[in-house]
A and B are shown apart, each in its own frame.
Chain A
């Protein structure tokens, strides 16, 4: 059974720093992996989607990488800003079409 883990559960960094969020999964037979952000009390906003055949995707200050063999994905945020404060979730879609979410990393950017 696929398990998705995000460590740490919470992270605080000073504004301007580059940072990496981690997502690990136990079954490498995935179809894709998607990163989301969620602001308090709101829905999820899609950030990046990486297909199983891809190694990385970039959007602005965000870069997501995927290493299926090690069961890991990272979300790199460059030059962090207070507006980046949110919870970041990853979700893995398996070959069986099941989508499993991690519990998220709560990020706080200190002004």
Chain B
């Protein structure tokens, strides 16, 4: 079974802090994704990566950056956390076709 893990289930940070969210997958998937999920807005893609050291902006990349130094690990970085970044963050991975996505358990981030 594919396993996608995220470093924290719950995280509370202060405004202005630098925040790292880590995602690890154990199935040698090429593709990895970061989404945020908010009530009424659904899932929105922040960044994705098709290969090591490769990244592409999604629909809402502002205020975020990512790092993929190893194939199994994809990190989301909030350079200076703000209250409007309070959200559920979901990581996913997939193989090349058929592109089935597998999700981690999510990190509920609260910025105060």
Query: How many positions in chain A have a CB within 8 Å of any CB in the partner chain?
Result: 21
Q: Which of A16-24, A30-38, A61-69, A72-80 contacts B (4 or more CB under 8 A)?
A: A30-38
- Which chain B residues border A43 with CB–CB below 8 Å? 4, 90, 103-106
CA A46 to CA B103, docked complex, whole Å = 8
A1, B39: Cα distance in complex, Å: 22
Question: From DSSP, what is the main secondary structure of chain B's interface residues?
Answer: strand
Question: How many A-B pairs fall under 8 Å by CB?
Answer: 46
Please name all residues of chain B whose beta carbon is closer than 8 Å to the beta carbon of A36 when the two chains form the complex. 103
A-B contact pairs, 13 of them (CB 8 A): A34-B100, A41-B88, A43-B105, A44-B103, A45-B103, A46-B103, A49-B100, A51-B98, A89-B42, A91-B101, A102-B42, A103-B40, A103-B41
> Top 4 A-B pairs ranked by shortest CB distance?
A44-B103, A103-B42, A43-B103, A101-B43
The interface of chain B, by Cβ under 8 A from chain A, is: 4, 33, 40-43, 45, 88, 90, 92, 98-106, 108
